[in-house]
Amino acid sequence: SQQGEEDPQALSIQEGENATMNCSYKTSINNLQWYRQNSGRGLVHLILIRSNEREKHSGRLRVTLDTSKKSSSLLITASRAADTASYFCASQGAQKLVFGQGTRLTINP
């Protein structure tokens, strides 16, 4: 399969804690993107990091990219109940987006 892998598959933390999700991909990329999905609905784009970037921030989100290891991580700081969702990384080469299997994040009040 061309799909990437995400780790962990599920993560449960307390509100206010930080959440870290990891993603690995298989082919060379132009960019890597992270998406959020709530309960089987459509995906929401969170952040995009280009292959020549190593780190990017957006609000409470921090993404890192290591092209030598073909891996990325998403850090959500100061988590909130509304962050409960599934998070997917998606690697993009010359053409299509290839999604990982996702991490199911649960924020406990």
Q: Is the Cα torsion angle 3, 6, 10, 16 positive or negative in sign?
A: negative
Q: Does 96 bind other proteins (CB under 8 A)?
A: yes
Q: Does 97 bind other proteins (CB under 8 A)?
A: yes
Q: Which of 14, 52, 68, 95 binds other proteins (CB under 8 A)?
A: 95
| Gyration radius from the chain CA atoms | 13
Q: Does 57 bind other proteins (CB under 8 A)?
A: no
Give the nearer residue to other proteins in terms of CB position, either 33 or 71: 33
Q: What are phi and psi of 88, to 5 degrees?
A: -125, 135
Strands 85-92 and 97-99, bridge-based pairing: antiparallel
Contact segment (CB under 8 A) with other proteins among 17-25, 53-61, 68-76, 91-99 equals 91-99
